[in-house]
Amino acid sequence: MKVSREQMAENRRRILDAASRLFREKGFDAVSVSEVMKAAGLTHGGFYGHFSSKDDLVAQTLAHVLAADSGEGGDFRRYLDTYLSPRHRDSPAGGCPTAGLVAAIRHQTPAARSAMTEGLRSQIGRIEKALPESDPADRRRAAIGSWAAMVGAVILARAIDDSVLSDEILEQTRAWIDAGINEESVA
């Protein structure tokens, strides 16, 4: 039975969404192709109609999820509050793909690293546009520093077993970034 072009596109989206959740939750190496296909509600045999290999799936999943991870639009403070929250920290499968996958990306293919690079470049650009008006070089520096601090804080907060310290990491990083933004907007 032939599958329509629309159904093929829908199946591909389901595979990418399932892979994204599973990769963020468990890591690239701990997830099998058959597990992804099962989570997408499809049979293992249909995988190769969409992807040439698991490496291809990883790269295309990164491109898919990073393109969709657009943040909160132009309201950076709202995005900051949402990103550096216990709810985000406690939901890695549905959370930021950068924080969930960046530590393992160096072991992936050049195509996967390229997808991560484009996602990072895009996110920095979105933050840069959302920051208060200032000198372009200062905005760029603030965007890169803020994003690096945000991702690092979530990674650290997820890695430890002390909930008080974990919450403090999120709160203090948010306060530090917010203070820097307020300083920039006054200057």
pLDDT tens digits for range 65-89: 998 765 545 689 999 999 999 999 9
Claim to verify: residue 131 and residue 170 sit in the same structural domain? yes
Question: pLDDT of 16-33, one tens digit each?
Answer: 999 999 999 999 999 999
Q: What integer is the mean pLDDT of 140-165?
A: 97
Claim to verify: residue 116 and residue 182 sit in the same structural domain? yes
Claim to verify: residue 55 and residue 113 sit in the same structural domain? no
Last residue of a domain, one of 43, 65, 87: 65
Q: What integer is the mean pLDDT of 34-50?
A: 94
- What predicted TM-score, i.e. pTM, was given to this entire model? 0.86
Whose tokens are 């840069």? That residue is 128
Q: What integer is the mean pLDDT of 108-112?
A: 96
Total domains in the chain come to 2
Claim to verify: residue 49 and residue 83 sit in the same structural domain? no
Last residue of a domain, one of 20, 35, 65: 65
Split at pLDDT 50, 70, 90, the class of 4 is confident
Last residue of a domain, one of 45, 65, 85: 65
Q: Which domain holds residue 19?
A: 5-65
CATH code assigned at 48: 1.10.10.60
